[in-house]
Amino acid sequence: MQNKYFQPEAETMPLEEIKKIQNEKLVKQVKNVYDNVKYYRDLMDKKGVKPEDIKGTEDLHKLPFLKKDDLREAYPYGLLATDLKNCVRIQSTSGTTGKRVVAFYTQNDIDMWEECTARALVAAGATEDDVVQVCYGYGLFTGGAGVHGGSHKVGCLTLPMSSGNTDRQIQFMMDLESTILCCTPSYAAYIGEHLKESGYKPEDNKLKAGIFGAEPWTEEMRRDIEKALGIKAYDIYGLTEISGPGVAFECEEQKGMHINEDHFIAEIIDPDTGEVLPEGSKGELVFTSLDKEAFPLLRYRTRDICVLSREKCSCGRTFIRMTKPMGRSDDMMIIRGVNVFPSQIETVLLNNGYAPNYQIILDRVNNSDTFDINVEMSPEDFSDTPKTITMKEKKLQDAMKAMLGINPKVHLLAPKSIPRSEGKAVRLIDNRRRYGITI
């Protein structure tokens, strides 16, 4: 029998109940963090806030924010709230200047995270009869591990494919009759094209649903993927700092993602003033982890711009919904599902003896991101053979790949050839905006 919810008592609890749980958990969590995380205690002391000042969610605004820079500064153990011996896992994501962000998990943290992704899977129709093909990357990236664990919790047969090797993905999809596909939307689109090229029609596969996240995508792309694979496509949202994918997930309504409010409090703030904005306002999403033991972040600024809505959902879930992120309040780009900061690119250039005269050009070809970096050479970089230049390009490309985790195409250009507007070089040309991609 198909269950509509993975944890119905949580997912459909009345609003008053959500508020009550959030109030209780918040008071406890703030005290826990104040007692165990010196870094945050210092921030609270600096702001003159004591744990006793926080009596419930209405006092949340009194707490200081945490930013990505704080995570970098506190790297690696500065925000840990428990003994390392209680931790069982780390996951990691890229930081702003190359230093990675490391998040720690206790077994309870892992269970909570996997229950969140299990909710997302069940919302997409998963039962123990399903075959879930996970082609998010495995490893430090949270995509693979998070959905994988959720799939186990639901009792689905889980195919830990990881990303890449599309021929093998298709072989397993066909031979083992996968019913739910989990990957980035651009990879889903790519698999769709590959299936078509291999002579398969959408009805030839057994897929019924797909859970796609980790990068921005549009409604148009959703329709394309649904048509190409013959499925219903669901969005999922999350971030390593808070747990991973599954912080919020889409239901059959496909109108925004329900935030797992029994574990996380979401706020929308004005990114400039930090002021909390009323429901329905567009602003920066801020999360507070209520249940995390190892790495409990309070008021973490995601830099994602979106809108929250408490409007009743026909699926029966009572959790607040967030729109897809509509933009960023910093200069982070999401390229092929990977977070990239211009400062990382600058770091690589300086480390390799180049002046930071560069331009990033992003575009979309066949629903997949193209990533080019133009870099100005200095006169001594140029002689009379293409070989010396292409070798330098290759070396720089390898250094970029090592820092960013994805492979850009590096082009060395003549000095002063990158257009400057009012003396300042334009660092980013994002042609993906033409296709509605805004991050």
**Sequence-separated (6 or more) residues with CB below 8 Å from residue 323:** 256, 306, 307, 309
| Cis, peptide link before residue 419, omega less than 30° from 0 | no
Amino acid identity, residue 370? Answer: T
The answer to whether the beta carbons of residues 381 and 418 sit under 8 Å apart is: no
**Sequence-separated (6 or more) residues with CB below 8 Å from residue 382:** 388, 389, 414
The answer to whether the beta carbons of residues 285 and 266 sit under 8 Å apart is: yes
Shortest distance, CB of residue 430 to other proteins, whole angstroms?
21
Binding stretches for other proteins (CB under 8 A): 377, 379, 382-386, 389-390, 411, 413-417
The Cα 31–Cα 37 span in angstroms is: 10
Residue (167 or 384) nearer to other proteins, CB: 384
Shortest distance, CB of residue 193 to other proteins, whole angstroms?
24
The answer to whether the beta carbons of residues 116 and 257 sit under 8 Å apart is: no
Residue (5 or 382) nearer to other proteins, CB: 382
Shortest distance, CB of residue 369 to other proteins, whole angstroms?
19
Shortest distance, CB of residue 363 to other proteins, whole angstroms?
16
Longest Cα–Cα distance of the chain, Å, equals: 74
Tell me the helix, strand and coil percentages in the chain, rounded to 5: 35, 25, 40
Shortest distance, CB of residue 182 to other proteins, whole angstroms?
36
Shortest distance, CB of residue 416 to other proteins, whole angstroms?
7
The Cα 360–Cα 372 span in angstroms is: 6
Residue (49 or 389) nearer to other proteins, CB: 389
User: Which run of H or of E encompasses 347?
Assistant: helix 342-351
Shortest distance, CB of residue 384 to other proteins, whole angstroms?
4
Pair of tokens at residue 188: 């889903």
Residue (2 or 417) nearer to other proteins, CB: 417
DSSP designation for 115? H
* Residue with the two structure tokens 């200069």: 331
Residue (38 or 420) nearer to other proteins, CB: 420
Residue (199 or 386) nearer to other proteins, CB: 386
Residue (17 or 372) nearer to other proteins, CB: 372
